[in-house]
Amino acid sequence: MNYFELFGLAPDYTVDTQSLAVTYRELQKQFHPDRFATAGEGERLVALQKASEINDAFQTLKSPLRRAEYLLSLAGIELKAEQQTLRDPSFLMQQMEWREQLEDIAQSNQVEADIAEFEQTLKQSQQQLQTELEAQLSQQAYESAAVSVRKLKFMFKLQDELERLEESLLE
C-alpha cells in the first residue's frame, strides 16, 4: 500500500507532521496487536502486519530525507541501496572543505564554538537544499531531486559524524 494513501495524504514532499502524528496514533489504536489478543491467529497476524506497515509508513513520512526517497521510489527511482557517486564538482569541493573543517574541530582550542558554527553551516545548507528538493519534486524533476537527495544524505551523515565528535570531545 502507498504510505501517503494509508495516512490519507497527497503524495507531496511537504507534510503536516502534526496531523501525520495524529493519524498515526488513530491507526495504531485501530490496528494495535493488543486489540486482537483474543482473536484468531490469522487476525492477530494481519493486525501485527498492519501495525508494522503503519510504523514503517510513519517513520518514512515523518523524515524529510526518507520521504523524498519514498517519493522518488514512487516515480520509479530507487536510491535506497545505490552506490552511485555524485558528479557535481562544486559539491565535491564542498564535501572536502566540510571534512577538513570537521578534522580542524578535533584539534581546536574552542571546540564548542567551532561545533556550533559548523552545525549552523550544515543546517543552513540542508535547509537550502531541502527547499530546492521540494521545488524539484513538485515540478517532477526527479533526476535533479535524486541528486539533491544524494547530497542531503551526505550532509546528514556528516551531521551524525559531528555529533559523535562532539560527544567524544566534550565527555
Residue 15's CATH number? 1.10.287.110
Tell me: do 95 and 48 sit in the same domain: no
Looking at 62, 79, 112, which one is the last position of a domain?
A: 62
How much is the pLDDT for 7? Answer: 94
For 143, other C-beta atoms within 10 Å of its C-beta total 11
The lowest-confidence range among 11-15, 34-38, 89-93 is 34-38
Is residue 161 scored above 80 in pLDDT?
Answer: yes
Which structural domain, as residue segments, surrounds residue 57? 3-62
How much is the pLDDT for 93? Answer: 94
Is 82 within a domain? no
Tell me: do 101 and 146 sit in the same domain: yes
Tell me: do 116 and 53 sit in the same domain: no
How much is the pLDDT for 132? Answer: 97
Is 70 within a domain? no
The total of structural domains in the chain comes to: 2
- Find the helix packing angle between 17-31 and 41-62, rounded to 10°: 170
SS3 string, the chain, reads CCHHHHCCCCCCCCCCHHHHHHHHHHHHHHHCHHHHCCCCHHHHHHHHHHHHHHHHHHHHHHCHHHHHHHHHHHCCCCCCCCCCCCCCHHHHHHHHHHHHHHHHHHCCCCHHHHHHHHHHHHHHHHHHHHHHHHHHHHCCCHHHHHHHHHHHHHHHHHHHHHHHHHHHHCC
Q: What is the pTM of this model?
A: 0.83
pLDDT > 70 in the chain, percent: 95
Mean pLDDT score, 119-126: 96
Q: Which pLDDT band holds residue 1 (cuts at 50, 70, 90)?
A: confident
How much is the pLDDT for 39? Answer: 72
Is 127 within a domain? yes
pLDDT tens-place string over residues 133-160: 999 999 999 999 999 999 999 999 999 9
Is 129 within a domain? yes
Tell me: do 98 and 157 sit in the same domain: yes
Pick the more confident residue, 35 or 123.
123
Is 139 within a domain? yes
Is residue 115 scored above 90 in pLDDT?
Answer: yes
